[in-house]
Structure 1
Amino acid sequence: MIFIGGFIAKQPNGLYCRFSSVVDAPTHWNMTREDYLSNITGTVHTETEGINILENYLHPFSEVVDSFKPRNMTRKAFYDLLIEMSIPYPQNNKTGGQIKMDQKMQQDGIYIVQQGKVTYLEPTEHGQDVLIWKNGQVLDVERTDRTRIKTNK
């Protein structure tokens, strides 16, 4: 089967997304299997074809990350979307093919996205985080704490 124009990938949260090679960005995300098979993307001709694609032609999520180009979607919007596509899928939050942002995602912190997986680092009261890079990926995070000395004046 030849895919012209896009592919389907399984997101880190277990749902599906469609990546368009025409716009170089995701066009549909947070789709359940049922969403995809009911032709929410407008690209599946029959349910049998959709099942065949999901079972035999599913692309790894890393291809979504690797294929993105900031032509029709900003980098920030794409990174925000990567975080959203990594939030575990809660059945009761699904609305209109998308899920609501987790409360945790609205808090301050550091989000590191590598190969489609998101690592969240909570902020400390005082301190510094240093990212150690190797081959274009975060290898380690060095975290130091700082204690503020209070003086009475």
Structure 2
Amino acid sequence: MPATYDAILSAPFGKIGVRTDGARIRAIVYLPGHVEGLAPADALTQRLAEQLAAYYDDPDAVFDVPLAAAGSAFQQRVWQAICAVPRGATTTYGTIADTIGAMPRAVGQACGQNPFPILVPCHRVVSARGIGGFSHHAEDGFYLDVKRWLLRHEGAMLI
């Protein structure tokens, strides 16, 4: 059964599927460019679409859409640490692990479970040996291309 979205928005790197509960964003999902778009279903998805468009124009744009509660207490600590990484910078899974008293692999798993990519900028977390994976995917392919685009857009990766 295909996933249902309240909007499928165009992005410079493909598409973004959005799920809401009507009042809050529940999930943001990276989708390849060939997926058919879907206009925002309500004012909330329209607001997110406008904020994403502003971000694509200016990586310092601010997001203020309401997010649904998600994740375990540990995942929330990881996501809070990710949100502290400024635009144009990166950190490593190990650095976050040291900060919150965890193991790097557990931090990587929490990053991969992030339901709000871009808004909770998990693309700013990299491996000590390179770019690392992204959204539970290996170090190549569509998802890593998205991560590279986001890092270049924010000035954290020049290649």
| TM-score (normalised: structure 1) | 0.32
Higher gyration radius (CA): 1
| TM-score (normalised: structure 2) | 0.32
More strand by percentage: 1
More helix by percentage: 2
